[in-house]
Amino acid sequence: AKRIRDKEAAERQEAEKKKREEEEAKAAAEQAEREAKEKQEREARKAREAEEAAAKAREEAEAAAQAPEETPTEAEPTSMEGVEAAASATETPAEPAAPAAERVFITIRGRQLDITDLGIDRDYIEALPEEFREEVITSQFADQRAQQRAEARQNGTVPTEISREFLDALPPELQQELLASEMRERRQREQAEARRQRHAQGGQAAPAAQPEEMTQADFFATLDPAFRQQVLMEQDENLLNLLPEEIQREARELIGERPRHPRVRQMGDQLATAADQLRALRDPRGARLDMPERSRARPVVQMLDKPGVATLLRLMFVSLHHRAKSSLHGILSDVCKNTQNRAEVISILLSILQDGTIDVGAVERSFAQLSLRAKQVNGSKTPQPKRALTEVAQATELSPLNIVQHCLGTLSALSVDNPKVQTFFLSEHESSIKTKAVKKGKGKESKASRYPLNALLMLLDRKVITENTGVMETLAALLSRVTQPLTQLLKKPKEPEAEPEVVEPPAAEPETAATAPDVVPPAEQAAEDVPMQEASVETTAEPSSSETVTAPAPVDNEQPEGPPVDKKRRELEPPEIPDENIRLVINILAGRECPSKTFSDTIDIIRHLTAIPGTREIFGKELIVRAQELGESIVTDLGDLASQIDSAKTGVELQGMALAKFSSSGSQQRKLLQVLIALDHLFDPKRMQVQQATIDSSADSKLKEDILTTLSESKTFEGLWYNLSLCLAAIRRRGNMITVATILLPLIESLFVVCRNSALKETPAIVAAPDATVSTPPPEARMDGLFFTFTDDHRKVLNELIRNNPKLMNGNLSILARNSKVLEFDNKRSYFSRKLHTREDRTVSHPSLTLNVRRDQVFMDSYKALYYKSPNEIKHGKLNIRFNGEEGIDAGGVSREWFAVMARQMFNPDYALFNPVASDRTTFHPNRLSDINTEHLSFFKFIGRVIGKALYENRVLDCHFSRAVYRRILGKSVSLKDMETLDLDYYRSLVWILENDITDVTFETFSVEVDRFGVVTTDDLIPNGRDIAVTEDNKQEYVRLVVEHRLIKSVEGQLDAFLGGFHDIIPAELVSIFNEQELELLISGLPEIDVDDWKNNTEYHNYQATSPQIQWLWRAIKSFDPEERAKLLQFVTGTSKVPLNGFKELEGMNGFAKFNIHRDYSSKEKLPTSHTCFNQLDLPEYESYEHLRQQLYTAITAGSEYFGFA
């Protein structure tokens, strides 16, 4: 049944589809028949019209031929002649006259249009909507005109003009469109005719018409009429002057009807400026002096008087939604383009912030005073205050905090839109700003009150402001922006003192400083203010506090029409800011909470204000005072926390008990960190961008030294760091409270910021160190000693913090790179990779490195393809490897294989570049005789680049070099221990010299003999060394020199070339954080070490497998992480490489040599020692597991610097 239903449904669908196709075919046939019929009618109509036009043309030609034969003598007979001729022609036709054709009219936009001559069917046009009728008529008319022009070209005549009656009947838009098209066609005809004439005069045939660039007139003619009107209305006067006259007339008529949109006007101004510059460049006579008047400063008229401004600013007391607030800011921005309006707006806003936001009563009084000002007009009486106060209760609907936020947001928006608002705060104005009493006298107080910047700074003393995070963020951003022009004081060039400076009186132009060329950006110099057109400043009964800044009346209100007089404009002068106002800036850091954005703005404020002489010292002393206050409040809490860490059972319990004071975003430790960072920025020339020419460097250095002394010698900070160390030690002992250390991270960062300001800051990175030492010696400075002691004691906690958040090494903890031995290998590698891939040169794009290589010639093919590439191309270019004759797309795997093959072929003995060391056949040292290969230095440089590229791409290479090579890469000097793996016999002879008295033994001098292919030469280790004997007194120097010669000097050229290529990719300062063991692990990777296989292939001498020391040893090895196991293997065997078939094939000096452990019968306090040529570990007889593990760990991390007999 289902199949039957499906079959019936399919048949029905098929029938419906067939019926639908038949209907569509029938409709298409009817449409085609109708179109064919219309086409025949149209062709017949055109033919009939053509015959009528030809007959009419013949009649006119005959009439024109008969007219010269008759010479009328009077006007009346002449005029009657045409009538008689016409009458006779009508009475005696040559053939029966056809009936007059019916005229076809159609309505277009309410107008009757005769379309008889267009040949459009009445029924067809009436069936169309009106908007389509216009298109059909325009298209038909264009076709008809094109046909007429073609006939005219064939006959050699000029096409007839458009009928005026037809044009008048059209709507204005269609008229303009048809006229524009006609003008364009006429212009093209004239250009074509001019070309034909030019070629005719030259005796050449006219070339075929070529496409030409469209002119401006042609472009405007192709536009839609409505759009063309809009474009023409928005053009600048200078741009209109470039257009044809008819378009200029049309544009000027339109401009008189409607004002231009500001945004389009701005675009027009920019286009006009570009046109002026182009004309000046094209004029060989230096047309820059004759630039049009438009390039001068454009005056900005005053839009509002004082009551109008007051009326507008009453909206500060009204709650506005976002869109209304944005509109208000836009209106005020336009109003503030005028000098007087700007002064009035800012003065009222500052007045509201000062006096109208203390409490609700102050809000009402401020609104009442503003209402009085809004009702005031010139010559009017003072409004009744009672009436104003009755309106206050209804109008003020915001709290004081909301009004503060509204006013600050408005000032911030104005300062963004208009740079002159910024400089207004820094220039002197007549005002009545209330300031605190100043000890230095009333003169300074009076002058400071004239700078609006002080009104903003005094807001930082308001509790209602400092306790609100959002308001503080807005205020900090505003202060940062308005103080930014002060940085120009640092860049001001020195001028000869003998040259007097012309300074206009402040009363003549209150904003002279705001228009100084070194303050206002060039983009803003195009708008100049028009002075306020008021005869005098009205004196009213308003309270003085309602008007903070009053702009003085201008002396000269007339705008000069001639060129501006060249006079030296007054430069920006440092504003007068009382010391207590400068100190208030630190309130932002010590506020309730200081988010990162607010903190960044505060640092900018401090940086800007330090351009004023003397402010750096004020900031420094105030920051020290705040830091000590915060430190005193933290010391006690830290002491309580240390004791509670030991007594708490779990970390969760501790967090609930004692960490509430440390974990909040507004905690005292975070405030302390921000204050100390501000100090760091204050005395860092790179961050503050301080120029030596503007600051007394000696005074600045003394101030920095005094502040650092205060930090290092303060009992408060000494107790703070001591208690912090106690807490971290307790955390380390508990082992499961790393979250507590994370909460204390701001205090740890504070310590490192203080240390960063010490002498350690100027110490360069360790690139070239003296001879091997156990650890970095602590500096003599107290803070430096504190830094090294603190980091050594708490290395485990610090590494765990960095491991949990690697980005800490990009911040204040980056100073740990100065004591890199406390960092564990994984943290070093993470820091190295992140710094390597975030350098600035990565912003430049580089093409891919495509290599097509033969598998058996990978090294040579790659060398030829890459050697002449630039370092940046090799470093940043993406490898795309293809092996000849093999299919494969390089998505990473082929490149990885290429690195593996390169690591094998670079040690190919045919190239004579490297020799295996004596201890094993898998570790290599440069061949001193490699110059037998003429290209050996370029090969070494290429190998250095390949290894650097592998590090950059995070690839590991199966290549191992001698310790001397790794130490040379790190810039360290070599030691006698490094000679052991290279030449064991020579190493033993040098050890004998050091261990024995060589008095009266004269078999050695300060020289060495070098065998070069059978030719023996003598090289002096010092000048005339072959004549200087080695004695007991100078044997230490001899051993040092001969080791350096054998390992470094003999292959110096090879190593320099290798390092040149390596440092092309990897900066020396980045790789210097590793030691030679870690560098090998970085290049070759951490090996997979099977401890059980290692244990099963170990031999014991004077020990048994059951000895306690052996049991403790393997227990310690199993407790090590992979990095520490690899370091132990390096310490004993000289390499971290594990043989492919396990430890049973461990390489020694004379072939396979198993790992072996010998009993050391010397002191039990001695560190374990090793002999890498024999894979031998000498283990003292320690008495406990803890002692053995500690000594073994010390040996593999620090003791590797010593040679075996130490």
- What does the alpha-carbon distance between residue 1092 and residue 450 come to, in Å, rounded to a whole number? 83
More confident residue, 525 or 255: 255
Band (1157; pLDDT cuts 50, 70, 90): very high
Q: What is residue 740's DSSP assignment? A: H
- For residue 97, which phi and psi values (nearest 5 degrees)? -70, 140
More confident residue, 1204 or 403: 403
Helices (H) and strands (E) in the chain, counts: 53, 17
Residues with Cβ < 8 Å from 495, sequence gap 6 or more? 501
Q: 528 and 299 in contact (C-beta within 8 Å)? A: yes
- What does the alpha-carbon distance between residue 551 and residue 502 come to, in Å, rounded to a whole number? 22
Is the per-residue pLDDT at 842 higher than 70? no
Band (773; pLDDT cuts 50, 70, 90): very low
* Secondary structure (DSSP) of 672-736: HHHHHHHHHHHT-HHHHT--TTTS-HHHHHHHHHHHHHHHHH-HHHHHHHHHHHHHHHHHHHHSS
- Report CA-CA distances (Å) from 1010 to 929, 1022, 1148: 11, 15, 26
Mean of pLDDT values over 333-351: 88
- What does the alpha-carbon distance between residue 922 and residue 899 come to, in Å, rounded to a whole number? 17
Percent of the chain with pLDDT over 70: 69
More confident residue, 1123 or 413: 413
- Report CA-CA distances (Å) from 834 to 334, 805, 829, 1099: 48, 13, 9, 43
CA 306 distance to own-chain centroid: 43
- For residue 472, which phi and psi values (nearest 5 degrees)? -65, -35
- What does the alpha-carbon distance between residue 784 and residue 1115 come to, in Å, rounded to a whole number? 37
**Given the structure tokens 């507004």, which residue do they identify?**
666
Band (860; pLDDT cuts 50, 70, 90): very high
| Whether residue 336 lies in the annotated active site | no
- Pick from 22-26, 272-276, 385-389, 1073-1077: least confident: 385-389
Which position among 407, 727, 755, 1173 bears the catalytic label? 1173
Residues with Cβ < 8 Å from 894, sequence gap 6 or more? 881, 882, 883, 888
Q: Contacts from 964-968 at CB under 8 Å and sequence distance 24+?
A: 964/925, 964/1047, 964/1048, 965/925, 965/926, 965/1055, 965/1058, 966/1076, 966/1077, 966/1079, 966/1080, 967/1076, 968/1048, 968/1055, 968/1059
- The dotted CATH code for 1086-1201 is 3.30.2410.10
Is the per-residue pLDDT at 290 higher than 50? no
Token pair, residue 720, equals 């703070």
Q: What is residue 592's DSSP assignment? A: S
Determine the pLDDT at residue 656.
58
Q: 761 and 704 in contact (C-beta within 8 Å)? A: no
- What does the alpha-carbon distance between residue 1202 and residue 569 come to, in Å, rounded to a whole number? 72
- What does the alpha-carbon distance between residue 618 and residue 616 come to, in Å, rounded to a whole number? 5
Q: 975 and 986 in contact (C-beta within 8 Å)? A: no
In the chain, domain spans: 1-57, 105-201, 216-296, 300-490+511-532+542-553, 613-823, 841-1079, 1086-1201
Residue 906 sits at the vertex; the CA angle it makes with 901 and 909, to the nearest 5 degrees, is 120
* Phi-psi category of residue 1167: left, alpha or beta, with phi > 0 → left and psi -120 to 50 → alpha: beta
- Pick from 760-769, 997-1006, 1074-1083: least confident: 760-769
Instruction: Work out whether the CA dihedral 303, 307, 308, 309 comes out positive or negative.
Output: positive
pLDDT tens-digit readout, 546-597: 333 333 333 333 343 344 444 444 567 888 889 899 999 998 888 778 888 8
Instruction: Name the H helices within 523-612.
Output: 579-583, 586-589, 596-609
Token pair, residue 875, equals 């470093």
pLDDT tens-digit readout, 378-409: 544 434 444 443 344 344 567 888 888 889 99
Is the per-residue pLDDT at 897 higher than 80? yes
Neighbouring CB atoms inside 10 A of 662's CB total 22
- Report CA-CA distances (Å) from 602 to 424, 475, 597, 731: 20, 10, 9, 35
Angle in degrees, 0-180, between the axes of helices 715-734 and 697-713, rounded to the nearest 10:
50
CA atoms within 13 A on the CB side of 863: 18
Determine the pLDDT at residue 1061.
93
- What does the alpha-carbon distance between residue 716 and residue 634 come to, in Å, rounded to a whole number? 9
pLDDT tens-digit readout, 242-252: 677 777 777 76
Q: 953 and 879 in contact (C-beta within 8 Å)? A: yes
**Given the structure tokens 């002692």, which residue do they identify?**
1187
Angle in degrees, 0-180, between the axes of helices 360-375 and 400-417, rounded to the nearest 10:
50
pLDDT tens-digit readout, 193-230: 777 777 666 555 445 545 555 566 666 666 766 677 77
Is the per-residue pLDDT at 978 higher than 70? yes
Q: Could you list the beta-strand ranges (E) of 391-481.
A: none
- The amino acid that residue 119 corresponds to is G
- What does the alpha-carbon distance between residue 953 and residue 836 come to, in Å, rounded to a whole number? 10
SS3 readout for 115-150: CHHHCCCHHHHHCCCHHHHHHHHHHHHHHHHHHHHH
Mean of pLDDT values over 718-729: 88
- Pick from 610-614, 761-765, 782-786, 1157-1161: least confident: 761-765
Band (685; pLDDT cuts 50, 70, 90): low
Q: 959 and 907 in contact (C-beta within 8 Å)? A: yes
CATH architecture group of domain 841-1079: Alpha-Beta Complex (3.90)
Band (435; pLDDT cuts 50, 70, 90): very low
Residue 932 sits at the vertex; the CA angle it makes with 927 and 933, to the nearest 5 degrees, is 90
Instruction: Work out whether the CA dihedral 932, 934, 936, 939 comes out positive or negative.
Output: negative
Q: What is residue 460's DSSP assignment? A: G
Q: 955 and 1080 in contact (C-beta within 8 Å)? A: no
Mean of pLDDT values over 1105-1121: 90
> Hey, which residues does 971 pair with through a beta bridge?
none
First to last CA, the chain: 101
Q: Residue 1134: name the closest of 1044, 1204, 1051 by CA.
A: 1204
Angle in degrees, 0-180, between the axes of helices 745-756 and 795-804, rounded to the nearest 10:
110
pLDDT tens-digit readout, 100-122: 556 677 777 666 677 777 767 77
- What does the alpha-carbon distance between residue 628 and residue 939 come to, in Å, rounded to a whole number? 60
